Structure 1
Amino acid sequence: MSEVRFRDSIFARLVVWAMLVSVGVTLLLWAVTYTTLDRSSRAALVRAVDVDLAGMADIHASGGQGELAKRIEDRLALATDDGNASHYLVADNAGQRITGDIAVWPKLDARLSEAGYITLSGNVPAYARATQLAPDLKLLVAREYGYDSALARRISWAFLAAGGLAAAVVGLLGRWRANRLARRVGRINRAFREPDQPSLEALEEGSAETDEIGELTRHTSEALAHLRRMVGAHRETTDQVAHELRTPLMHLDNRLVKALAKAQDEDDRRLLSDARAEIRHVIALLESLLDIATSEARKGDRLGLSPVNLSQLVNRIGELYADSAEDSGHVFTRSIMPGITCQGEEMQLTRLITNLLDNAFKYVPAGGTVRLSLEQGPTLSVSDNGPGVPEDERDHIFDRFRRGRSNIQAGESGRRHSAGLGLALARAIAERHRLTLNLVPSPKGASFVVAPETKS
């Protein structure tokens, strides 16, 4: 199993959601701010034009057309502080200009005191209102609003920039915190994957935090420490049981050897030899069961593993079986890629390979072919052209005490003392090394493949 990539991490998704929420809130606030500014500036624009128009109408009413023209010239000569200049036009009913700086009367009805947005010369946008001052005299007051729009845009862009910066800060801080949380969770995952001493020590260092992950780390550390104690106690107990059983059996075997040396009758010698064979079978059975239990208890545990030149190991084993294959009348072929290494225990890997080869030679009659191959991966396969595994036994071929059926007479004696633990032990050793052992389909015979576990 590989490390979780950041983009697949739940913390990464939380950071992305936080950034999306920040961006969403920023856009919402920007929309509200822009709308509010736009409405306020437009209302102020309308109010300014109406007040100016009312003032000009009062000037005309009190001072006449001459006074109105003078006041318009005065106002046009003044520079505005807000950047939105006012413009005026006094014209007759035909639209001919009398005074003011607007050249052409727009499409606004003075009799209705109509207002609207117009474009002045030079493509300057403005808001204007017209009114009828006298039967043959009308007034237009306009005010630019481009400065207000530009100001609103600048404020909006500043708001968006600040919001984007805030989202970026949230993302950076969130990623920093997410990476820290991911490293803390990663220590827990590594301790489960590789419960060796360095992983447990790293786990204890991370248990000082007082938050939820710190509490989870403490519970994980305590649970794994308890599990290691239980596994150690189990291993010690099985070793003691094995010793207590193996010792008297070996003593009994020695007594049988002495009795066999003294026996004169051929029947007695045969019975004593059979008894010795049964004792050795029981010892081998006991050792196999202990090896299976030990391998299963240490499944995935990297402690005690070291680099093994698998190509050299398989070559050595292959050479030994090549000699015995000639004696048994089998054809033994090898295809071993050089330079393949792996982390493992050499003795255990040796037992895995020899169990598979023993199983193949046991069930393949003389004249049959056994093939041993090693490829990059590492992928090891042992296949043959023998009778194969019956369909109803394929799902249970790796079960303990499961012995295959065959009608080949030559193999019956070889299987008489088989306990059915060879393939079970081989699979347990494979899993201890994070490998898989499977019976794969083949056109003829049986084919067993050892390959790395599929990463998830």
Structure 2
Amino acid sequence: MTGHSPPRRGQRSIFGQLTAASILIAVIAVAVLFAVTTIIVQRQTRASLSATVATDMAGLIDIYATAGREELLRRVADRQAVVSLDARRSHYMLADAAGRPLAGDQRRWPQINAKQSEEGFIALADGTPVYAQGAMLAPDLQLLVAREYQSDRAAQFVLSAAFLAVGAAIIGAVALVAWFTARHLAERMNAVNAALGAAADGRAASFPARQRGGDEIDEMAGHGTRLLARQAQLLKAYKQVSEHVAHEVRTPLMHLDNRLGAVMKEHPETVGGALVHAREDIRGIAAMLDSLLDIASAESRRGDLAGLAEFDLSELLTGLAELYEASAEESGLAFETAITPGVTVLGERMQITRLVSNLLDNAIKYVPEGGHVRLTLAPGPRLTVEDDGPGIAREQHERVFERFARASLPDDKPGHGLGLALSRAIAQRHGLLLRLGEPPRGAQFILEPAP
């Protein structure tokens, strides 16, 4: 028997994809927010440093403009050891046009253009990173004001670490919620699939109970419940009508056959082709009704182990092969066997015999003269009946197992289309699967345990 469980390996789950998409969106959102925050903080830091350095520079320029060069030299000397309130240490350099130091704590002019009042992030001679600005106070006098920003970098690092920690927590929370939600939805969908699979296999189906409030899955389960109930009702009515008709029609047909036989005995002069054909037609219809009753009986006992017994399938097939060798020879066919000894099966001997006989009859019936029919049995058990005849089109592989369905073949033979339907019903009654293989030529019927 088959059923539906959680997604098999290699099978994609929509809920898994939704979980992955939720996590990906959360990661992208956190990354974008981190990038935007970092850019804003960096711009604010630059703006703050620029304003601080510009203010300091403006004050020194004002001192030079109002008190002269000597006062500026004295003020620069006083300021070089001062640490600002925001912990940004200041650096100064007053130099001549050639860059020779006149005052301040720096002994070499950095890579900054004082003539253009350039400012920006640079490194001092000792490698200290600073934000600096240069200015030309006179043709032979230039001033450098710089501020360290290690504290800003440390604050930015702490902010980044905190942001990433919070972002990781958010991503983890999203992943956890998405996983639990997806798992809950997947379990509910698996329950619905299991119910549908059980119904497809002919077993009792039970849909999951409705969740509080209800949602789309509950609505689908409700529709499925009503659909299966309706289907079961129609199927039951169909089977009842079929079995009733088969029972009711078979008896008068047999009575009619007996009466025709009696007429032919009492009036030998009436014996002719018309009456003979009539009796053959009656017996054909009776055989069809018997097959319908047998199919109904096998389907009603599917999964029921009562009446089954272990027997030697190899011995049964060996006996059948001996019987069919003569039939195959009369039809001009080569009959081959490859039967592994000692293979057993749990089942009804007569039903298995009928199943295999139907397959062999079909092969001998449809394979043209000069063809081959092969019967094989391997442990499992795995039984195959194959031939090199016209075969069955791929799109008809399932249809041929339906009642009254017949494959479209160039040289079709008369029949009711019930043999393969009966064979599959017998196989299912024994927990076996009868299917068509895909050989390069001809037809191949495979009987094996159902997955």
TM range (shorter): 0.7 to 0.9
1:38-74 per-residue CA deviation (whole Å, 9 max, x = no partner) reads 1111111110001111223344455655654554454
Q: Distance in 2 between matches of 1:19 and 1:264?
A: 91
Cα gap change, 1:132/1:422 in structure 2, threshold over 3 Å: closer, same or farther?
closer
State the partner residue of 1:129: 133
Letter in 2 for 1:422: G
User: Which stretch of structure 1 is more off in the superposition, 109-118 or 334-343?
Assistant: 334-343
TM-score (norm 2): 0.74
Letter in 2 for 1:117: F
- 8 Å contact from structure 1 (residues 204, 218) kept in 2: no
Letter in 2 for 1:104: R
What is the percent sequence identity of the aligned residues? Answer: 39
- 8 Å contact from structure 1 (residues 371, 384) kept in 2: yes
1:150-176 per-residue CA deviation (whole Å, 9 max, x = no partner) reads 433443344344334423432332132
- 8 Å contact from structure 1 (residues 439, 449) kept in 2: no
1:343-387 per-residue CA deviation (whole Å, 9 max, x = no partner) reads 9998765543220123345567999864211347875322357xx
Q: Distance in 1 between matches of 2:386 and 2:372?
A: 8
State the partner residue of 1:319: 318
Q: Distance in 2 between matches of 1:256 and 1:378?
A: 47
1:13-57 per-residue CA deviation (whole Å, 9 max, x = no partner) reads 222222222222222222221111111111111100011112233
State the partner residue of 2:228: 224
Residue 125 of structure 1 deviates from its aligned partner by: 1.6
Residue 318 of structure 1 deviates from its aligned partner by: 0.9
Match of 1:53 among 50, 57, 64: 57
Residue 120 of structure 1 deviates from its aligned partner by: 1.0
Cα gap change, 1:197/1:81 in structure 2, threshold over 3 Å: closer, same or farther?
farther
Letter in 1 for 2:285: V
Letter in 1 for 2:321: A
**1:448 correspondence with 2:447:** no
Cα gap change, 1:121/1:431 in structure 2, threshold over 3 Å: closer, same or farther?
farther
State the partner residue of 2:384: 381
The Cα RMSD (Å) is 5.0
Q: How many residues get paired?
A: 434
Residue 4 of structure 1 deviates from its aligned partner by: 3.6
Cα gap change, 1:13/1:292 in structure 2, threshold over 3 Å: closer, same or farther?
same
- 8 Å contact from structure 2 (residues 312, 342) kept in 1: no
- 8 Å contact from structure 1 (residues 207, 218) kept in 2: no
1:270-303 per-residue CA deviation (whole Å, 9 max, x = no partner) reads 99998876554332111224556788xx7xx996
- 8 Å contact from structure 1 (residues 436, 453) kept in 2: no
Q: Distance in 1 between matches of 2:328 and 2:116?
A: 119
Tell me which protein shows more helix as a share of its residues. 1
Match of 1:422 among 399, 419, 424: 419
1:122 counterpart SS class = coil
**1:104 correspondence with 2:101:** no
Q: Distance in 1 between matches of 2:176 and 2:349?
A: 48
1:86-120 per-residue CA deviation (whole Å, 9 max, x = no partner) reads 10112333433232111112244545534343311
State the partner residue of 1:411: none
- 8 Å contact from structure 1 (residues 207, 217) kept in 2: no
Q: Distance in 2 between matches of 1:80 and 1:308?
A: 100
2:91 counterpart SS class = strand
- 8 Å contact from structure 2 (residues 83, 90) kept in 1: no
1:133-162 per-residue CA deviation (whole Å, 9 max, x = no partner) reads 466543221112343244334433443443
**1:190 correspondence with 2:199:** no
Residue 265 of structure 1 deviates from its aligned partner by: 7.8
Letter in 1 for 2:47: A
Letter in 2 for 1:286: L
User: Which stretch of structure 1 is more off in the superposition, 92-101 or 306-315?
Assistant: 306-315
2:209 counterpart SS class = helix
Summarize the alignment of residues 173-322 of structure 1 with structure 2, pairs less than 5 Å apart. Answer: 173-195=177-199, 200-201=205-206, 203-206=207-210, 210-249=214-253, 279-290=282-293, 304=303, 314-322=313-321
Q: Distance in 2 between matches of 1:163 and 1:276?
A: 87
1:141 counterpart SS class = strand
The answer for unaligned runs of 5 or more in structure 2 is: none
- 8 Å contact from structure 1 (residues 86, 142) kept in 2: yes
Q: Distance in 2 between matches of 1:340 and 1:208?
A: 54
Residue 324 of structure 1 deviates from its aligned partner by: 2.2
State the partner residue of 1:118: 122
1:286 counterpart SS class = helix
Match of 1:42 among 29, 41, 46: 46
- 8 Å contact from structure 1 (residues 360, 384) kept in 2: yes
- 8 Å contact from structure 1 (residues 310, 341) kept in 2: no
- 8 Å contact from structure 2 (residues 367, 387) kept in 1: yes
State the partner residue of 1:412: none
Q: Distance in 2 between matches of 1:112 and 1:264?
A: 136
Cα gap change, 1:119/1:177 in structure 2, threshold over 3 Å: closer, same or farther?
same
